[in-house]
Structure 1
């Protein structure tokens, strides 16, 4: 439950900051005659929506398993990351589309005052702070939705950088800098959105755990007393957690009870040593004398 509390706390903090920044940016854009800052304020408001999505994902994910969801609700985090990636892609297209429109209509780019420039610098500081505290917690608790939200904060920061370049360029007489900077920012936001979309889509399709974790898991099983071989390993992500299915080979002469105890020891060791593993199912097969690995007593993986 603690991981969800950490995620909720940092998300609520982000929502409060975004509400304040959105209001200040829009007011500064109107008073300071900057359409770029008004658009940036609306972009900041979109962060509020995605952060609310993270809160909803946390609320669903921490619910215990039930009859309809035997494996729990952790995948709600991945589903929310998928939705947030789509929001990032839409935001990226919107920034790019608006920038390209201005690129061919430079007469519509107004000359702003210094107020939006000051507010923009302040906004970047706060957005980078939001990114830092959010990605730190996201990596700590391995939350896909929180990682997506962190990158949305970073995209807002980059959007503001583009707005500042445009504002400064307009003030100096180089109006074309505004749409060019906006277009480059949109490409970065799109890339981040597509990367998160790919990761979350893979997890929704039972993407396996990292190769390093698989190897660590295999070594833990092989180093358990009574295990001769790991015949098969399958894993699937479930939000921030993962489930593992193993087939191990044991001495064909031992009792069912002894085989069960070996399997139980493998399960306990894996769950204890690898934090992200939520459940392990171990199937026991008798040592095969026709198997070169089992016959030689050399512990290895046979698939």
Structure 2
């Protein structure tokens, strides 16, 4: 059985929203990265130069996200029966590796300068550049996060955190620049090192999330418990033999096995299955497809409910099962 997702946003609308937000961030990032690298070189600021390189990685990742949106919106075909939504998960996964790599590179450069003990005084231009960058990157974060949550895009949410890490990077750079100008020369490279730790941490978190999506992780168990209870309370299902879910990019697939009265007609069993599917779509967002399998319930004259439960996996709380 297959019904449309409860989400009112169509795939074309998702693509347009995600694409528009990503292009806005790309334009801002190009301007910021050029400005920060130039200021870093001219004002002798290691922290600002590292921050500018970090912003370039934002631009590269955003281009990758645009490509993933284009692929994800393609419908099912003969080679991809479940669609292409995982392209967004792959983009988020690759973005995490990019973040980790950039963070480690920034940290390595900062450590080399700290060991060398160079007394570099950044110019005042670097202070203004870092301040403007903080505001711009925070705005980008809020725009991308809003859009990512609206269209349920893990790639866009990952990109939002990339912008937030850049804002934190700029804060670190600003502290280091001001400290170095006050005579604490070690603060500029030290700020670059702190930035690297922040970037790597965010990258690891996005990596774990992307890994789980690519491994078909389930949605929250609480949502499965809730929908199972409503099915048992509001349909003619006697018991739930199995309830499984898996994330597929921005979408969710649900497989459920239920047992019903074995003496009903095929048409009646199909009607019960449709009731089950409607409840799932009502309670779980972004469901792309629900597969309902009906089993004949073991009657008392044939066996006990415990016999059925012994061979099934039930996702309902104790006391919530129906018995025949």
> Could you tell me the TM-score, scaled by structure 1's length?
0.93
CA contact (8 A) 2:229 2:320 kept: no
> For structure 1, which segment, 261-270 or 147-156, has the greater mean C-alpha deviation from structure 2 after superposition?
261-270
Q: In 1, Cα distance between the equivalents of 2:322 and 2:130? A: 56
Q: In 2, Cα distance between the equivalents of 1:22 and 1:285? A: 60
Q: Are 2:32 and 1:18 aligned?
A: no
Indicate which of 31, 49, 62 corresponds to 2:73: 62
Q: In 1, Cα distance between the equivalents of 2:232 and 2:136? A: 49
Structure with bigger RCO (C-alpha 8 Å, 6+ apart) = 2
> For structure 1, which segment, 164-173 or 277-286, has the greater mean C-alpha deviation from structure 2 after superposition?
164-173
Structure 1, unmatched stretches of 5+, are none
Aligned counterpart, 2:3: none
Deviation at 1:8, TM superposition (A): 1.3
CA contact (8 A) 1:61 1:73 kept: yes
Aligned pairs for 1:168-179 within 5 A:
168-179=178-189
Q: In 1, Cα distance between the equivalents of 2:178 and 2:117? A: 15
Deviation at 1:301, TM superposition (A): 8.4
The superposition leaves residues 176-199 of structure 1 with CA deviations (integer Å, 9 ceiling, x where unpaired) of 112222222222211111111111
Q: Are 2:266 and 1:252 aligned?
A: no
Structure 2, unmatched stretches of 5+, are 1-10, 310-318
Indicate which of 276, 280, 292 corresponds to 1:270: 280
How many residues are paired up? Answer: 299
CA contact (8 A) 1:229 1:293 kept: no
Indicate which of 223, 229, 238 corresponds to 2:239: 229
CA contact (8 A) 2:46 2:189 kept: no
CA contact (8 A) 1:124 1:161 kept: yes
The superposition leaves residues 140-185 of structure 1 with CA deviations (integer Å, 9 ceiling, x where unpaired) of 2221111111111111111112221221121111011122222222
CA contact (8 A) 1:112 1:171 kept: yes
Aligned counterpart, 1:291: 305
Aligned pairs for 1:13-92 within 5 A:
13-92=24-103
The superposition leaves residues 277-298 of structure 1 with CA deviations (integer Å, 9 ceiling, x where unpaired) of 1111011011223115989xx7
Assess, with a 3 A threshold, how the Cα gap between structure 1 residues 140 and 219 changes in structure 2: closer, same or farther: farther
Q: In 2, Cα distance between the equivalents of 1:110 and 1:291? A: 77
> For structure 1, which segment, 84-93 or 33-42, has the greater mean C-alpha deviation from structure 2 after superposition?
33-42
SS in 1 for 2:212: helix
> For structure 1, which segment, 93-102 or 78-87, has the greater mean C-alpha deviation from structure 2 after superposition?
93-102
CA contact (8 A) 1:89 1:190 kept: yes
Q: In 2, Cα distance between the equivalents of 1:110 and 1:300? A: 71
Q: Are 2:162 and 1:157 aligned?
A: no
Q: In 2, Cα distance between the equivalents of 1:275 and 1:210? A: 12
Q: In 1, Cα distance between the equivalents of 2:265 and 2:45? A: 79
Q: How large is the Cα RMSD of the aligned pairs?
A: 2.0
Q: Are 2:209 and 1:199 aligned?
A: yes
> For structure 1, which segment, 176-185 or 40-49, has the greater mean C-alpha deviation from structure 2 after superposition?
176-185
The superposition leaves residues 71-103 of structure 1 with CA deviations (integer Å, 9 ceiling, x where unpaired) of 100011101110000011101111211111111
Deviation at 1:202, TM superposition (A): 1.3
CA contact (8 A) 1:221 1:227 kept: yes
CA contact (8 A) 1:293 1:300 kept: no
SS in 1 for 2:262: coil
Q: In 1, Cα distance between the equivalents of 2:76 and 2:143? A: 30
